[in-house]
Amino acid sequence: MLKKGFSTGSVSAAVIKASIRYYFEPEKFDSIEIKMPGNENADIKISRLGKRKIKRKMVVSNAAAVKDSGSDGSDVTGGIKICAGFTVIGRGKTAALKKYYGNLSVYSIIKNSQFTLMLASSKGVGIVSRPGLPVKPGRPSINPVPLKMIELAASEELHRAIKKYYGDWNKAGASALKHKIFASVLYIPKGEEVAKKTLNPRLGIVGGISILGTTGYVVPISTKAWLETIKASLAFLAENKIDTCVYTPGRYSEKIAMKFFKALPRESFIEIGDYVSYSIRKAVKSGIKKIILAGQFGKIIKIAQGARNTNAKYGGVNFNFLGKIIEKSFKNLKAAGSALENIPEERKEYLRNAVINSNTSRQAYGYIIADEFETARGVIFDNILKAALKNLNGTDEETAKAVNIRIILISSDGEIIRSSG
């Protein structure tokens, strides 16, 4: 049976929480509970706890955990050690902390009536150097969901510790802390080394790995198991005379598709992951008459390029291809004499070059949806969908005749951007 593991985000939240607890607690512990994005609790093992005086009256507590990726042998971050330190410093006095940990990059400051908590990262946590990612350039590569997990774990644990050991802020010991800053430092000793095996160098994330995870878990599934699941789902639809299915790359796209296609039964929605070609062929053989494929920009672009499997190991987004689609779209508007085609030539050229030189599909998408290109973006998206539809219909000779395929392009904020039908 395949075993779930934990994301870098979950383990980071756990060691940060553990380092805070051990700063105040005299006794060691071997695990700690954190709140996951789905609101359930998870227990994560702590491999090491320690305290060290780095300056007179300045003690740092450190915690470490080994990232358990479960049965997912493809996760290159599996087995990596993620660490965190915690201490109290005077306002504006981070010199000793920098000397101990090296360069610090602050990624969040939590302020309330009781305390100020500075969350920073150091060695082995990547820094974003290019636009196009969920995190702005110059900041640690800690994605929004794990950031929320970390902030929740750290602030709740600090509240708990203060209440347990000081009772209230009117006591002398607690009152003195009001004029200090609590500081947490996340670091990954072998992060820079392991990052070389990831997509980070290509994405412009330097110096370490990223802190990721939308669910908090690493959910392994073998290729064989996934394909069998798709096959079994289609067999169920055939048995129950359901001739429409909605394919999505993953859980998020499926959730959005369900919102818009409420009339379809739950069984019609099938997560196909990266297995586009296989899923289309199996649908035709199962007697499916209508396929709705819903996905975000990056996946749809890959299909438009002709990808049969959209996994990154088979290739990324071809930005030159996307640039040609943009060029073609402007020509289409001009040839049609469209009143919408009122964008200056130099701005058209700017958009084409910006897209070609994009770092990620997210960045390219951002250029296309800019306000100044509002009158042209619909045609651009239509041409992308047209290319994607042509490739899906060309999966095999039977497909175009036997099944009607519709492609839905959805946004990251849960809206339908464009549809091929």
Report the 10 Å Cβ neighbour count for 108: 18
77-366-106 Cα angle (round to 5): 50
- Domains (ranges, CATH) in the chain? 5-218 (3.30.2110.10), 223-419 (no CATH)
pTM: 0.78
pLDDT digits (tens, 9 = 90+) for 194-213: 999 988 887 889 999 999 98
Phi-psi group of 34: left, alpha or beta (phi > 0 → left; psi -120 to 50 → alpha; rest → beta): beta
Closest CA to 108 of 209, 184, 204: 184
Provide the Cα torsion 53, 54, 55, 61; round to 10°.
-50
CA distance linking residue 227 with residue 209, whole number of Å: 30
Q: How confident is the model at residue 412 (pLDDT cuts 50, 70, 90)?
A: confident
Alpha carbon 373 to its chain's center: 27
- Using CA atoms, how far apart are residues 16 and 379, in angstroms rounded to an integer? 48
> Residue 228: what are its φ and ψ, rounded to 5°?
-65, -35
Q: Which residues of 207-245 are buried (b: 16+ CB within 10 A; e: fewer)?
A: bbbbbbbbebbbebeeeeebbeebeebbeebeeeebbbb
- Does the pLDDT of residue 172 top 60, yes or no? no
Percentage of residues of the chain with pLDDT beyond 70: 94
pLDDT classification of 168: cutoffs 50, 70, 90: low
